Chains A and B, each alone.
Chain A
Amino acid sequence: MTRHLRVDEPIHDSPLDQMAQGVLGQPLNRLEGPLKVSGRATYAAESRPRGMAYGVLVQAAIPAGKVLGIEDAPGAIAVIQDKRMIRYAAQGLAEEGPKAGPEEVEYMGQAIALVVADSLEAARHAAQNLKIRYDVQDVPVDPTAVVPELPPKKQSSTGDLDKAMQQAPFSVDAVWHTPTHAAAAMEPHAAIAEWDGDSVTIRAGLQMLSSNRKQMADALGIRPKKLRLLAPYVGGGFGSKLGINAEAVAAAIAARELGRPVQVVMTRQQVFDLAHRRSETRQRIRLACDHEGRLTGIGHEALVSNLPGSDFSEPVTQATPFTYAAAHRQIVHAVARIHRSCAGSVRAPGEAVGVTVFECALDELAEAADIDPVALRLRNIPTVEPDTERPFSSHKLAEALHEGAERFNWSERRPPRQRVEGEWFIGMGMATAVRVNQLVEARAKVTLGPDGRAIVETDMTDIGTGTYTILGQIAAEALGLPQERVEVRLGDTDFPPATGSGGSFGAASSGTSVYLACEEVRQQIAKAMGCEAVDLTLQNGLARAGNVEKPLSDVIQSPLVGEGYVEPGKTEKSVRQATWGSHWAEVAVNRWTGEVRVRRMLGLFSCGRILNEKTARSQCLGGMVFGMGIALTEALEHDPRDGHAVTRDLGEYHIPCHADVPHLEVHFVPERDPYVGPLQAKGIGELSICGSGAAILNAIHNACGIRVRDLPATPDKIIAALDP
């Protein structure tokens, strides 16, 4: 009853294109939208089990050392210090709980205990006033002040880059800095834990339930079967909810100890301290090209940071090896071990900052070689992946560049400082968008009843992206049902495991498992109709084969159940899978104050089949805004003395908001990718982040002639280079 697919071969003709319902790809509204805007969607902290107590995490006030003692808090039911409490969040897809033992402090703000009381106010008051004794340790907190590690597997070199640089008529050799970024999801991390005997149910804001369950079971020392996770609605994750975090573990421990349900919600400041941060980066880029602008040398050296022993390091150079070709190449990846909060995946780890900086460097090369930036990119698109010589699964960069230039009126771009409107310099910039693509394991179950209603179940999450809607569309298409006859149930580990939401792989992977489950059901319908599945047409609740047409209720006596299971196969390695696009921006730079205002942006993206034009577009709009944040506003500042996060609320950590965001335009370059399974769909959300900031930074240069290499490009950085 399980339809299993290992994607070993390309699927050029998708059966989905033979189906008749016509709902797939439609720009449908989000199914759960009305629940959300009317407050009826219950997020992690919003249920109220009887007898619930409130927990507040206690945070270390030292950069590193040992907790010697915590004195009891008046007004609290309990102050819980348990060896199983975790020091930082689990990394995405980890199979085990993260490092436990809160009495050892690794960074300022680490959770070291939980205070529980009968009200949130009382718990918070007690937590804020605990007397804690420490043994303080002196540790490095500045990534540039330590000798970094150079993990051997992450370095690579082809040819002789130094020589290529010396011999090239045109070259760029410069250093960029990007600051720490926070995911800054709207919903703070929260959990409610409730035990029943030796089984526990935890409602939490999480992105990847099946691995979260393993992490949590490991952290608590129980069997995964005894643990149920619920996350039907998640108020954004952006990587920060990939792995379990301190609040959920503490809630479960406290609930067990106290014999009553416990809720733990992080304060906004705690979210900034305890959710993974994107490491700051120092990036040196070296580029060399010949007289025609053909790249001869590419060097990308990155320095990132994380806590000692943490295995994640921001994959800054992830897309560099395959985006452009050059005979001489070098990748350097260095990791500084310092005691700031744990670094992990945040909004397109790697390319978000790596592609942004690389595309700025390319703009500098275009200027040096006096070649149009679009032409420079077009000239350097490889036909196969450099080094491995694997083919690309699909590659529509050239189309995205040509169409973008046309739509944006790129030909109207003038040299720097030529377009002036009052106090404002106006300029245009562009960049390539690129992001690796990944298909992951996923399972789903589909039940079709005689009443012509279907139910889709998987532990996949919808973190605000539209997963409920697109999974419903896939099932509706495959089963020939109007969308409203399909109910989608997500975010419950009782359902078949998907990998979850992350790395932009959710829609394509989970969607494929739903499609496979439907295929299984279709097979059963075909059998009942006495035909082959390929000869079966399902539409509007009717089954048709040859010249026989019947309502489903006449065909099915009892519910039909199908399960789908997809896993990546040979195409994961046989081709280079990536998504491509182009970014375009027009900005105004104030010649007095250095303020930058983005006037318009355009993004073109090719990411396989578009499952829902509206939710896909929304993903891209959000991603382009993230790019604005990287280019212009976002920086989580750390205190140089103790490494604590300073700009730790949404008033000081500046996400671009309504007044910052101008007209944004998104177009999809039509394509299908046969190497990713029958859906032919790929990741979307992250692609639109990668490079969007570079288009803005390049536009700043085109406006006023200034290159900001120390991001974000706040007014101080601009006026430092403007004429007095």
Chain B
Amino acid sequence: MKPFSFHRAASVADLPAGATIIAGGTNLLDLMKLEVMTPDALVDITRLSLDRIEPAADGLRIGALVRNSDLAADAVIRRDYPVLTRALLAGASGQLRNMATTGGNLMQRTRCPYFYDRRMACNKREPGTGCAAIGGITRNHAILGTSDHCIATYPGDMAVALRALDAEVEIDGPAPRRVPLADFHRLPGDTPHVETVLKPGEIITAVVLPAPVGGQQRYRKVRDRASYAFALVSVAAVIRVQDGRIAHAALAFGGVAAKPWRDPDAERLLIGQQPSDALFQSAADTVLRLARSQGDNGFKIPLLRRTLIATLRDATGMEAAA
């Protein structure tokens, strides 16, 4: 690992310029050992008081240092935002969730194996060198929003649920602001190394949830094994059915793009309709209309379709009736 300086921050104002933040370290440390990330300076933020879950105007504010385990177990989250608890518990392992933080989880890097392997060309790791994944083993790569420069996914689960919940990210720095999660992660385009809108010198201080919307909440993650493994595809769904018709539909997808994916057209198509397989099929068609296979990952297209249909059947009560 490349030598670095280390500083333990006492307050948000105490973040040295140019230092890389370390929180739980469960992702950063691995990447530093492999020298995929080579920061000159680290700042440990775990002493900052950002570890509370507290009421905010009409919703809930989750501090950036709240551990994944604590967030998943929180009584209010479990009652009002169960899709978030389910997504968290579908991720990583118990030990990792004990260390992983809310901010770090949002910022976790892709699991593209070529990104992890310094012998390989990678535009994300070293801008302008090319993308070795294209034409290689692409089983875990994206089908939506890819570019010729990068086909990696954002691998996390928590953010997929947050996306379906319309969460916002609270950012501190020279210009404090709040950004909808929808705009937080970026698609690769020709700058795949720029993964979020976070600028140097900025820090995530919290994630803010709007007032609870109720409804049936599901997080369905399909993976290669039941013990920890990243999603092949995942679906977060918040669905409310009223008088036999769908009144609210929020759907977010993981494992398919460089950000938690959402498709307003597909949701619009569902609203006001009676649940049916045909309806769900056309929602899936809409989500996947621009999907592109890289070869190995082509299965994600039918898999996402099937997982979405199964989730919608479940959330609308069709599965139980069948």
Contact = CB atoms under 8 A, between A and B. Distances in A.
A203 interface: no
Contact of B310 (A129, A593, A644, A659): A593
Interface string A687-724: 00000000000000000000000000011100110001
Nearest to A716: B299
B136 A640 contact: yes
A652 B306 contact: no
Interface string B101-134: 0000000000101101111000000000000000
Interface in A562-616: 590, 592-595, 597
Contacts of B1: 121, 124-125
B57 interface: no
Contacts of B3: 121, 125
A632 B223 CA distance: 11
Contacts of B35: 125, 128-129
A422 interface: yes
Contact of A654 (B117, B222, B225): B225
Contacts of B309: 592
A77 interface: no
A714 B319 contact: no
A646 B136 contact: yes
A593 B227 contact: no
B226 interface: yes
A639 B137 contact: yes
A489 to B, nearest CB: 35
Contacts of B189: none
A639 B232 contact: no
A656 interface: yes
Interface string A126-156: 0011000000000000000000000000000
B213 interface: no
Given A592-B309, A652-B111, A715-B232, A125 B225 contact: no
Given A128-B35, A594-B303, A659 B113 contact: no
B2 interface: yes
Contacts of A649: 116
Q: Identify whether the interface residues of B are mostly helix, strand, loop, or mixed.
A: loop
A651 B111 contact: yes
A2 to B, nearest CB: 49
Interface string A614-651: 00000000000000000011000111110010111101
B306 A660 contact: no
A656 B225 contact: yes
Given A128-B118, A641-B136, A654 B229 contact: yes
Given A125-B35, A128-B35, A659 B226 contact: yes
A698 to B, nearest CB: 20
A660 B227 contact: yes
Contacts of B6: none
Contacts of B226: 597, 657, 659-660
Given A593-B310, A716-B303, A719-B302, A637 B225 contact: no
A724 B230 CA distance: 25
Given A121-B1, A124-B33, A641-B135, A719 B303 contact: yes
Given A422-B319, A714-B224, A592 B119 contact: no
B87 to A, nearest CB: 16
A423 B1 CA distance: 48
Interface string A155-190: 000000000000000000000000000000000000
A200 B118 CA distance: 35
Contacts of B229: 651, 654
A638 B224 CA distance: 18
Contact of A660 (B135, B225, B303): B225
A61 interface: yes
B227 A656 contact: yes
A641 B138 CA distance: 13
Contacts of A654: 224-225, 229
Contacts of B136: 639-641, 646
Contacts of A128: 34-35, 118
B139 interface: yes
Contact of A423 (B119, B302, B310): B310
Interface of A: 61, 108, 121, 124-125, 128-129, 267, 269, 422-423, 590, 592-595, 597, 632-633, 637-641, 644, 646-649, 651-652, 654, 656-660, 714-716, 719-720, 724
Given A592-B306, A719-B306, 16 more contacts: A269-B117, A422-B319, A595-B222, A633-B224, A633-B225, A639-B137, A641-B135, A641-B136, A646-B113, A646-B117, A651-B229, A657-B226, A714-B224, A715-B299, A715-B303, A720-B299
Closest 9 CB pairs of A and B: A657-B227, A716-B299, A592-B310, A659-B226, A659-B227, A61-B119, A646-B137, A593-B222, A660-B226
26 contacts: A124-B1, A128-B34, A592-B306, A592-B307, A593-B222, A593-B303, A593-B306, A597-B226, A637-B137, A638-B137, A639-B136, A640-B135, A640-B137, A641-B135, A644-B117, A648-B113, A649-B116, A652-B140, A656-B227, A657-B225, A659-B225, A715-B222, A715-B224, A716-B303, A719-B303, A724-B302
